[in-house]
């Protein structure tokens, strides 16, 4: 008998993703679903999809989900989590959602140390609306609303979410990863698992920022997009763990119990 080494996670519905070829969302979705399966939390998890390319995430995740308005995911997730503290709640957000229109909601949910997990897909553009400039668009990067390239005088600078959020006293775990190679996909899964475990253990706010290719709006091939993340994007947005207070938060919690 052949040994099954790979299969569809139970937390993913039997359907095709609508995402473009080479998009990072489908990988991120699968990783989240795998982590939910492995942690045995499918029945207790409630997800909050954003406005953006992942707005239809409830067509893919086989878990309870509540759609949020653009940027309001962390506020909606706060409401769910405070009402049902023993459920696992995550918000899935893009760069426009988190770092532009929903910066206030995201920042303050993090600052309150809400015991939720935010999965942040950073692809440096507004994907669903057709490739406009995002808060995380790189300097000189051409988009439909920065046709001459992002100009720091007119448009400001790429917003570094992991760096900013790691400075907030309310956050426990913040890591930036990517999904442009098998090794980085494995690393991303580990980060997601750590973030969800952090929440399961009641240790506070966790955020995983995923640098994610958008070949369609970057106007590159899938392979070139993966390369661009290595050569350009990750220079502006360095990968790594920006904050890991899990052990420090755990200790007093254990001492108290």
Partner 1 sequence: MNKVLMSGNNIIAEAAIRAGCRFYAGYPITPQNELTEYMAEHMRNVEGGVFVQSESEIAAIHMIIGASATGARVMTSSSSPGISLKQEGISSMAACELPGVIVNIMRGGPGLGNIRPAQGDYFQATRGGGHGDYRTIVYGPATCQELADLTMNAFDLADLYRTPVMILADGMMGQMMEPVVFKKPKPRQYSEKFMLRGAGQGKSKFFRGLILDAIDMEEHNWKLERKYQVIIKKETLHEEYKTEDAELVIVAYGTAARIAKGAIKRLRENGMKVGLFRPITLWPFPELKLRALSKKVKNYLVFELSTGQMLDDVRLALQGYAAIDFHGRPGGVVPTPAELANVIARHYETID
Give the footprint of partner 1 on this chain (CB under 8 A).
42-46, 48, 51, 55-56, 58, 61-69, 72, 75-84, 87-88, 104-105, 107-108
For the bound state, the minimum distance from the C-beta of residue 83 to partner 1, rounded and expressed in Å, comes to 4
Query: Could you give the CA distance from residue 5 to residue 151 in angstroms, rounded to a whole number?
Result: 48
Determine whether 235 is exposed, middle or buried from the number of CB atoms within 10 Å of its CB (0-12, 13-18, 19+). exposed
Nearest to 84 by CA among 120, 48, 33: 48
Give the angle subtended at the CA of 226 by the CAs of 231 and 212, to the nearest 5°: 105
For the bound state, the minimum distance from the C-beta of residue 237 to partner 1, rounded and expressed in Å, comes to 25
Q: Which is nearer to partner 1, 69 or 222 (CB)?
A: 69
Q: Which is nearer to partner 1, 68 or 207 (CB)?
A: 68
Cβ contacts of 189 within 8 Å, gap of 6 or more: 31, 34, 35
β-pair partners for 45: 88
For the bound state, the minimum distance from the C-beta of residue 2 to partner 1, rounded and expressed in Å, comes to 30
Q: Which is nearer to partner 1, 22 or 102 (CB)?
A: 102
Q: Which is nearer to partner 1, 87 or 190 (CB)?
A: 87
For the bound state, the minimum distance from the C-beta of residue 113 to partner 1, rounded and expressed in Å, comes to 13
């Amino acid at each position: 008998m052949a040994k099954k080494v790979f299969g569809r996670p139970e937390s993913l519905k039997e359907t095709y993703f609508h995402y473009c070829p080479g998009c990072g969302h489908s990988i991120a979705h699968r990783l989240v679903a795998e982590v939910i399966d492995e942690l045995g939390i499918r029945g207790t998890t409630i997800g909050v999809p954003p406005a953006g390319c992942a707005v239809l995430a409830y067509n893919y995740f086989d878990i309870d989900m509540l759609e949020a308005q653009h940027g309001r995911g962390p506020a909606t997730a706060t409401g769910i989590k405070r009402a049902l503290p023993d459920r696992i709640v995550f918000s899935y957000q893009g760069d426009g959602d988190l770092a532009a229109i929903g910066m206030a909601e995201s920042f303050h949910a993090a600052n309150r140390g809400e015991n939720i997990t935010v999965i942040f897909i950073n692809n440096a553009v507004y994907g669903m609306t057709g490739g406009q400039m995002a808060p995380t668009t790189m300097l000189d990067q051409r988009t439909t609303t920065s046709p001459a390239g992002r100009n720091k005088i007119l448009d400001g600078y790429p917003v570094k979410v992991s760096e900013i959020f790691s400075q907030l006293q309310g956050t426990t775990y913040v890591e930036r990863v990517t999904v442009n190679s098998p090794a980085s996909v494995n690393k991303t899964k580990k980060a997601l698992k750590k973030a969800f475990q952090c929440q399961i253990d009641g240790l506070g706010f966790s955020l995983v920022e995923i640098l994610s290719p958008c070949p369609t709006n970057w106007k590159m091939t899938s392979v070139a997009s993966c390369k661009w993340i290595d050569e350009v994007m990750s220079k502006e947005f360095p990968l790594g763990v920006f904050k890991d207070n899990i052990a420090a938060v755990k200790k007093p919690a254990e001492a108290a119990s």
